Amino acid sequence: MKSLLIFVLVFCLAIIAVEAQTTAKGQVTTGKPVTTTAATTIKSFKVCQDTNSTAASGSIQPLDGLKPVATGSPRTCSFSIVVPSNQHVQMSCSVAKLTPVTTVLDNTGGSYTVSSSLIFDGTLDLVPNIVIVPNRVYTSYSNAMTVIYRVVNATDTFNCNWKTIQAPTTTTDFKLCRDSETTAASGSIQTLRESAGNGATYTDGLRACPFFINSSPNRQIQMSCNSFNDIDLFTFRKITEMYWFQPKFNKTTANSNQIDLLLLHQATDTVSPINCNWTTTTPTTATSNFNNCVNVKSTTTNGIISQSLANTNNELKTCLFSIFVPLGQRIQMSCTNVNIGSSSSLMLSGIAKISTSGIPFREVSTSINNRLDFFASYRNGEVFQCNWTTITIPPTTDFKVCRDGETTEASGTITPLENLNVDMFSKYCRFTITAPANKRVQMSCSVINQSTDIELYEFNTYISYIAKPPVVSQTYTSKGNQMNLNLNLKWSPFLKSPPLFKCAWTFV
């Protein structure tokens, strides 16, 4: 995973379902401050004393005298800001002297390092290891933002101020981490020129923010991103696959009337910004041979995707291609003719077997549902050819990790896929069980051999491990309505047998 955190990563989350809505909500925030009738004194609030505000501006600091508890989970305080629905909240901290990393108790009594002691929930920023950078402006993706503070160090202090900005106004020139959505048929979006912060580490300087482009029905969006640095493309699904956290944007995946652009980049005021451009075109007529960066999607049950002949310069071009097949079917893809450089990459999203080092060439990858996203970042003269077919897997309650990726079945079993290939590339397979909102997932494993490295976890504000690793015959219950099982596939010369386990679950 660390190999992906190069100087600039561009995450392009695209082609997910939401019919375009030509309302004010479908346009964008441009950063215009809310006009006030008279200057007023900004009210100061104390976290762990005050709980909420509807003010257009204010400041927030920790309550004096806060001390961490001696044992158990740290005290956690929340402060919610809710403003009118046509506005967004912008927060900036002039002082942010915080514990850089901390731990939270998991369900088994252990701990896991997650983030700093202060988090802004509801912002456009989605960096999983969240560190508040002084003087950086954080913008909410809706009309609400929540300040979450964990009391882990008595010397922690912060002074943060918020204001509101209007949403929306129409433009075709957008800025990432400030603007959030548009219905423009064409346009461009660039990263902000901003300092990474004095003395900030490389991780502190990273920002990841989404941008939504809504197209008209029966139209498709073509997009590419150019940079002087290496870039890769992802979807929301891919960022949750690569980094264990869940973005709080409720988006579905049925059609391609919306593109979601997500860029993970290093904040800088000295390097030229990343620039992404898009246009809207008529959908491609039926064909089985597609060119990346020219074609953006397919609904055919089999076909070929290869490099674009239109990439005539040596600039790194980054594009997405998505395949949709009928519900109940799955997509299988393999890549054979591949000749790309070390700065280029090919990746898949929506598969159960996740590689952190790109597509495993010649290995057949299977989608977990009826959609598969293909990402390519390459230069002129580089070539690739990937083929796909469609298969049907009958309904079952006996699931195979590394083939199946999700279920809402009330009960079932999960075991490894037969003849599971474990090589020297870092991979893992994820299986997600989702119960109704009023239910919990309960799991017990009857078999786990010594070659098996599995863990159970769930998401809340922080990732929470349920069992790492689970113990044979012990019962584990999620706190929420979802449980995730990860099988880590890290090759070792000491492994004498493939992974073998059997776990069963039910809803309670």
Q: What residue segments make up the domains of the chain, in order of their start?
A: 43-119+136-167, 398-507
Q: Which residues contact 124 (CB under 8 A, 6 or more apart)?
A: 138, 139, 140, 141, 177, 178, 180, 209, 210
Would you state the structure tokens that stand for residue 288, as one six-digit string? 């089985």
Would you state the structure tokens that stand for residue 52, as one six-digit string? 């909420």
242 φ, ψ to 5°? -85, -35
The confidence score (pLDDT) of residue 25 equals 35
The confidence score (pLDDT) of residue 259 equals 66
How far is it, in rounded angstroms, from Cα 351 to Cα 278?
Answer: 27
DSSP H or E stretch at residue 240: helix 236-242
How many Å separate Cα 105 from the centre of its chain? 24
The confidence score (pLDDT) of residue 111 equals 39
The confidence score (pLDDT) of residue 321 equals 82
How far is it, in rounded angstroms, from Cα 478 to Cα 463?
Answer: 12
DSSP assigned state of 65? T
Would you state the structure tokens that stand for residue 431, as one six-digit string? 């299986």
Sheet holding 365-366, edge to edge: 289-291, 303-306, 383-392, 329-339, 365-366
How far is it, in rounded angstroms, from Cα 376 to Cα 346?
Answer: 5
The CATH code belonging to domain 43-119+136-167 is: 2.60.120
How many Å separate Cα 333 from the centre of its chain? 23
The confidence score (pLDDT) of residue 428 equals 79
CB contact at 8 A, 318 and 224 = yes
Closest by CA position to 212, among listed 29, 10, 374: 29
How far is it, in rounded angstroms, from Cα 176 to Cα 210?
Answer: 7
The confidence score (pLDDT) of residue 23 equals 35
CATH class of the domain at 398-507: mainly beta
How far is it, in rounded angstroms, from Cα 208 to Cα 127?
Answer: 5
Closest by CA position to 190, among listed 120, 112, 123, 267: 267
How far is it, in rounded angstroms, from Cα 178 to Cα 191?
Answer: 9
CB contact at 8 A, 139 and 178 = yes
CB contact at 8 A, 366 and 352 = yes
Sheet holding 475-477, edge to edge: 398-401, 411-416, 501-507, 441-448, 475-477
Would you state the structure tokens that stand for residue 497, as one six-digit string? 């047998």
333 φ, ψ to 5°? -130, 145
pTM (predicted TM-score)? 0.67
For 480, what's the count of Cα atoms within 13 Å in the CB-facing half-sphere?
Answer: 16
114 φ, ψ to 5°? -125, -60
How far is it, in rounded angstroms, from Cα 362 to Cα 346?
Answer: 13
How far is it, in rounded angstroms, from Cα 343 to Cα 144?
Answer: 39
User: Consecutive sets of 10 residues in the chain, 508 residues long: mean pLDDT of each?
Assistant: 35 34 36 45 90 95 89 86 93 86 42 64 72 86 90 90 80 81 84 65 66 74 61 50 48 52 69 76 71 79 83 66 88 88 79 70 82 82 90 90 90 86 67 93 93 82 76 93 86 72 96
Residue 441 pairs with which residues in a beta bridge? Answer: 507
CA trace torsion 366, 367, 371, 372 (10° rounding): -70
DSSP three-state, residue 4: helix
For 13, what's the count of Cα atoms within 13 Å in the CB-facing half-sphere?
Answer: 24
One fold for both 43-119+136-167 and 398-507? Answer: yes
| Category of 269 on φ-ψ map: left (φ > 0), alpha (ψ -120 to 50) or beta | alpha
The confidence score (pLDDT) of residue 80 equals 96
DSSP three-state, residue 333: strand
CB contact at 8 A, 232 and 301 = no
Paired sense of beta strands 58-62 and 44-47, if any: parallel
- Which residue type sits at 456? L
Please state the length of the chain.
508
